[in-house]
Structure 1
Amino acid sequence: MIELKTFLDLPLHFLHLKQIHCLLLTSPIFYTRRHLFLSRLLRRCCTAATQFRYARRLLCQIQTPSIQLWDSLIGHFSGDRRLSFLAYLHMRRNGVVPSRHTFPPLLKGVFKLRDSNLFQFHAHIVKFGLDSDLFVRNSLISGYSSSGLFDFASCLFDGTEDKDVVSWTAMIDRFLRNGSVSEAMVYFVEMKKTGVAANEMTVVSVLKAAGKAEDVRFGRSVHGFYLETGRVKCDVFIGSSLVDMYGKCGCYDDAQKVFDEMLSRNVVTWTALIAGYVQSRCFDKGMLVFDEMLKSDVAPNEKTLSSVLAACAHVGALHRGRRVHCYMIKNSIEINTTVGTTLIDLYAKCGCLEEAVLVFERLHEKNVYTWTAMINGFAAHGYARGAFDLFYTMLSSHVSPNEVTFMAVLSACAHGGLVEEGRRLFLSMKERFNMEPKADHYACMVDLFGRKGLLEEAKALIERMPMEPTNVVWGALFGSCLLHKDYELGKYAASRVIKLQPSHSGRYTLLANLYSESQNWDEVARVRKQMKDQQVVKSPGCSWIEVKGKLREFIAFDDKKPLESDDLYKTLDTVGVQMRLPDELEDVTAES
């Protein structure tokens, strides 16, 4: 009997359990220990629907199933929300009163069921006198938070007298889910004041809050007080949260240091570091970390692939982006909506519009971000009508546009000169889609009118704006004035944009160009002097080029790599000589 009990504890398939059940039915020992063996078989049932029916038949063979057995069954079926719900219904139909261990696993699944009555289970908890039990109460707080019923979670928390670390952590998670990261940090401080010691889950949650708030000072204090001192053991989950927090705060050196000190890393750790580098615009470092990740035999996930593809798109690393795409195909990784959208953006930005369209057409599901990326691709390549038509195809597919979608299609209209179409789209934002245009949408309309020479209409639109015009709005008008040589209106627009961006060197340069085109050399000199007096320094130009899969960066007036610069200039001189050679040979031939 002992050997059989031990055998039942081994990892067995469902078919093996049924075979053991058949053997037990033919064995005399089964009838002396019937309930024991049936209970053990019952606990080994998995979460498939057919196995649930088998578990019900096993229960029928037990005369009086105990509450512990029912709790075990509900817990085993908690991975399948409907099955755990059905197990609870059968338990109540058998007249069994639930215990404090019945509801926590049940609530985890039930609160995610859209068609279930959440408050009915709360009523059952109150009915059986379990509402004052902290273990059950904490499960209710977590359940209400996970289902978006934040007010009910707060009400329960406020009414709890003996709050423990689970209660506080559930509330910190509640604010995280609601996007109130500052409130989450405030609750963490309050918890500390009450003398409740934080655990690993609390630290992970508050580090997430610090990362979303980009409050590196708060994150460092948590790191120092709890982890450096050993109050909370730093495992792979906390380490990953630290890397993520420092990355989101732009402190990629700190993120790299934490990463290097970690004894074990998982895909979340690698992804957090890559995403941190990409967010800090250190795209080449992010791609190098991805290469190291693959060499370490760590399989990337959706977030990893999206981050590295975004890095490739920003610097135009087409060859490397294609390698990532090939890796996904080779390893049979499904290209879902998120990764597909990033791939579309990559190919469109690298000039491969046909490949972007191919990825777009092969996606089974497309959300608003996917459509917007494709519209942006058409707009960037000058296919204004294609972007415009795709926008209406998106609407016919019952996908509602967002603010970025309107910016993309309005930008396409501006580059294609589709004034009337752009005007109708702009008006439809509020009339049809109940969406208030932002300053960036007004900037697109100013650019649309300005490119067609409707400068007075563009100026009138700025004057009617319900918000203060931004530097982008005035910059669009200023660029149009340069294009159509309206120097007076251009000077007015330049004065406004310089007032908003007094340290932006590009604005002064454009104003000096405007004065030089109008032959006003005194004003050119005045602008140059104003830049010098205000110590406005022009930011050096920077560009990337991909050669044989390796990314190279070039910065104007870069004196940090003199040897490479000398080689580069020698090569350019050689190219210049070779370009002039045919003309010189032609001149010699003509003279002879």
Structure 2
Amino acid sequence: MSGAPNILNLALRHLSPHNPPPLTPLRKLEQIHALLIVSGVISRHTSTRILLHCLSLPFFPPPYALSIFAQIRPPDVFTYNALIRGFSSDPQKAVSLYSNMRRDDIPPNKHTFPLLLKSKARIPFQIFGHAIQFGLGPDPFVRNSLLSSFAICGLVEDARKLFDEMTQRDLVSYTALMDVYIKNKQGTQALDLFLEMRECGVCTDGVAVVSALSAAGMSGSIWLGKWIHGFYVETGRVVRDVYVGSALVDMYSKCGLCEDALKAFHGMPRTNVVSWGALLAGFLHNEKFNDVLLLFRKMLLLEKTKPNKPILASALAACAGLGSCERGRWIHGYLVKLEHETEICSVLGTALIDMYAKCGCMTEAFRVFARVAEKDVYPWTALIFGSAVNGDARGALHLFHQMVGCGVRPNEVTLLAVLSACAHGGLVDEGKAMFAEMERVYGVGPTEEHCSCMVDLLGRAGRLREAVELIGGGIQGNGPWSALLGACAVHGDYELGKVVGNNYLMRVQPREGEGGRYALVANLCSGRGDWKGVAEVRKKMREGGGGKDRGCSWIEMGGIVREFYAFGESGEGNVHVYNVVNQLTEHMKQQPFVLEDGLLEI
């Protein structure tokens, strides 16, 4: 064909490195594909391999790349690598392609194994074994990819051992191991590694700084987070792009410094949905629900791009926290208008179900659930929790068995929801059976939260001795003991409560907001007339700094959600509410009532 050279030149120009694939629309690539077929060189020309390379990127559907691959004869390591990358989200298919490559007697190169490891295939040792077999085990590129694979599999000790054995450690090696620590919730170790990297003279880039800021937020190391901010970002050692700026917002938010997070956000040269998502998630983390919704509305006014799923989920979670069904319905309507779809994805479906359930609108929660496209464990769990908190314990159990019958495997949160439903519904036998089956049937070991819920279940039923035996089985943490202490106070078992309070809870350093347990011990002491014991509790409370968080409630009036704190002053617009509360208080005082003897606030 006489026009073939011009056609091929056109194809190569569109597929050149100067015109990256994300900027080349699928329609244009389809046209190039058609030109290559018409030219008669589809099976042998270099441009076909470049076309496959472009179509194997995550911007395009993998089946199309597979159809191009079928037309290339003979395939080589380049085409196989491109296709393996195209199926990076399907580890089983990626490994199958590698097996086909070996059957075709095509030797892999140093790019093959990193692509397999990045496919999230949970067989890193087998893949690394093949790399060693082909003499690629010592290659830094392969070893760094293996480190990243260990992060996905949770193999922290193996990752550290591999890192220590590496003779060539570069920035990628350090960043990969930091990612292993961060993904496995070991922020302190990640920060130590960052400082070690700096001491070894390894140059730092924006990716490493983002990881370090994430670790600082995770571990609450605000002083180190501020140092990283000042030394690397403010001095210009790393570019303050969207990702570094978003990491700063996330770090300050997780350390409870929302004002600093807002300053970091405003200091960014430009913002997008990533930075807005970090800001909203940060304020949500600190339970500043009103601010989340104000920021959400501001984002809709300022940003040209539409909000993504995490942003919408944060806004719905804020509505759930406030109990503001009116605002939640508005966001739901906005979501329907935005998506133009009758079905809802799992992420937003879960957020909507949770919001409606916490607002007491279970009918609407069930309607949303019916429209969720992929009913995985998350919407099921939200619906079970919703039924539990709205007093339908039997309904929650029925939903759980229905979920299991559909082949959906419960996770830790699902089982916690079921135990909570049993506790609040007085279903002792059902709760005990579920607790006994957790690990044996569902493969989920009981955590501190599960044990606390089980102690609460037994305590509500007055079966305190069984609760003591359960804790005596070696359960760790403050939660179960606090639950038992509360049960002792409810049932007036002052002797057991005093033993629990003095021998266990008083020995453990209280975490923030756990000062309520001191009040429980003081109430138990006062119930026995032990005022010396009350004084000792007050002293320990002052020394430990375990003050109680002030109670806070929200009331929605005329579309405006107002906050009320215990012992707080009545702000503007709240006077009417306080007047109504005072009238109700006076009305209660006029009714016959019995004051529980001995209870006091400290």
Q: TM-score, normalised by structure 1?
A: 0.76
SS at match of 1:470: helix
Q: Is the 8 A contact 2:113 2:131 kept in 1?
A: no
- 1:180-225 deviation per Cα after TM superposition (whole angstroms, max 9, x unaligned): 3333222222221221101222222222222222322222222222
What is the match of residue 172 of structure 2?
Answer: 166
- 1:370-426 deviation per Cα after TM superposition (whole angstroms, max 9, x unaligned): 444333322222223222333333443444545544443334334333333334334
2:561 aligned with 1:551: yes
Residues 358 and 435 (structure 1), Cα distance of their counterparts in 2 relative to 1, 3 Å cut? same
Post-superposition offset of 1:39:
1.8
2:13 aligned with 1:9: yes
SS at match of 1:103: coil
What is the match of residue 367 of structure 2?
Answer: 358
Instruction: State how far apart, in whole Å, the 2-side matches of 1:112 and 1:541 are.
Output: 48
Residues 7 and 284 (structure 1), Cα distance of their counterparts in 2 relative to 1, 3 Å cut? same
What is the match of residue 198 of structure 1?
Answer: 204
What is the match of residue 259 of structure 2?
Answer: 253
Q: Is the 8 A contact 2:358 2:386 kept in 1?
A: yes
Q: Is the 8 A contact 2:283 2:292 kept in 1?
A: yes
Q: Is the 8 A contact 1:380 1:412 kept in 2?
A: yes
Residues 204 and 441 (structure 1), Cα distance of their counterparts in 2 relative to 1, 3 Å cut? closer
Instruction: State how far apart, in whole Å, the 2-side matches of 1:505 and 1:94 are.
Output: 67
Select which of 463, 466, 472 maps to 2:483.
472
Residues 362 and 22 (structure 1), Cα distance of their counterparts in 2 relative to 1, 3 Å cut? closer
Select which of 45, 50, 62 maps to 1:43.
50
Post-superposition offset of 1:4:
6.3
Instruction: State how far apart, in whole Å, the 2-side matches of 1:325 and 1:425 are.
Output: 35
Instruction: State how far apart, in whole Å, the 2-side matches of 1:419 and 1:352 are.
Output: 27
Q: Is the 8 A contact 1:447 1:477 kept in 2?
A: no
Post-superposition offset of 1:169:
2.0
SS at match of 1:9: helix
Select which of 413, 418, 425 maps to 1:409.
418
What is the match of residue 422 of structure 1?
Answer: 431
- Structure 1 window deviating more from structure 2 (497-506 vs 546-555): it is 497-506
Q: What amino acid is aligned across from residue 491 of structure 2 in structure 1?
A: S
Residues 366 and 569 (structure 1), Cα distance of their counterparts in 2 relative to 1, 3 Å cut? closer
Residues 341 and 7 (structure 1), Cα distance of their counterparts in 2 relative to 1, 3 Å cut? closer
CA-based RMSD: 4.7
Instruction: State how far apart, in whole Å, the 1-side matches of 2:583 and 2:63 are.
Output: 75
Instruction: State how far apart, in whole Å, the 2-side matches of 1:392 and 1:87 are.
Output: 39
SS at match of 1:217: helix
What is the match of residue 189 of structure 2?
Answer: 183
Post-superposition offset of 1:539:
5.8
2:358 aligned with 1:349: yes
Post-superposition offset of 1:457:
5.8
Select which of 385, 392, 402 maps to 1:393.
402
Q: Is the 8 A contact 2:116 2:127 kept in 1?
A: no
Q: What amino acid is aligned across from residue 552 of structure 1 in structure 2?
A: R
- 1:435-477 deviation per Cα after TM superposition (whole angstroms, max 9, x unaligned): 6655655554554455445566666766777558522221122
SS at match of 2:193: helix
Post-superposition offset of 1:274:
0.9
Tell me the number of residue pairs that the alignment of Structure 1 and Structure 2 aligns: 552
- 1:465-508 deviation per Cα after TM superposition (whole angstroms, max 9, x unaligned): 75585222211221233xxxx67767777778985799977667
Q: Is the 8 A contact 2:377 2:409 kept in 1?
A: yes
What is the match of residue 290 of structure 2?
Answer: 284
Residues 225 and 366 (structure 1), Cα distance of their counterparts in 2 relative to 1, 3 Å cut? same
Select which of 304, 307, 315 maps to 1:308.
315
Post-superposition offset of 1:554:
2.1
Q: Is the 8 A contact 1:430 1:436 kept in 2?
A: yes
Gap runs ≥5 in structure 1: 26-33, 578-592
Q: Is the 8 A contact 2:246 2:275 kept in 1?
A: yes
Instruction: State how far apart, in whole Å, the 2-side matches of 1:146 and 1:530 are.
Output: 46
- 1:38-69 deviation per Cα after TM superposition (whole angstroms, max 9, x unaligned): 32344224345455554564556xxxx9x8xx
Q: Is the 8 A contact 2:486 2:520 kept in 1?
A: no
Residues 360 and 476 (structure 1), Cα distance of their counterparts in 2 relative to 1, 3 Å cut? farther
Q: TM-score, normalised by structure 2?
A: 0.74
What is the match of residue 335 of structure 1?
Answer: 344
What is the match of residue 21 of structure 1?
Answer: 36
2:297 aligned with 1:299: no
Instruction: State how far apart, in whole Å, the 1-side matches of 2:259 and 2:153 are.
Output: 37
User: Following superposition of structure 1 onto structure 2, how do residues 64-463 of structure 1 map, counting pairs within 5 Å?
Assistant: 71=78, 74-75=81-82, 78-81=85-88, 102-104=109-111, 107-109=114-116, 111-112=118-119, 114=121, 119=126, 123=130, 127=134, 130-143=136-149, 145-146=151-152, 154=160, 156-295=162-301, 296-332=303-339, 335-429=344-438, 437=446, 440-441=449-450, 443-454=452-463
Post-superposition offset of 1:530:
8.0
- Structure 1 window deviating more from structure 2 (267-276 vs 150-159): it is 150-159
Instruction: State how far apart, in whole Å, the 2-side matches of 1:462 and 1:113 are.
Output: 39
Q: What amino acid is aligned across from residue 80 of structure 1 in structure 2?
A: F
User: Following superposition of structure 1 onto structure 2, how do residues 444-523 of structure 1 map, counting pairs within 5 Å?
Assistant: 444-454=453-463, 470-481=481-492, 499=506
What is the match of residue 590 of structure 1?
Answer: none
Residues 497 and 378 (structure 1), Cα distance of their counterparts in 2 relative to 1, 3 Å cut? farther
Residues 199 and 540 (structure 1), Cα distance of their counterparts in 2 relative to 1, 3 Å cut? closer
Q: What amino acid is aligned across from residue 258 of structure 1 in structure 2?
A: A
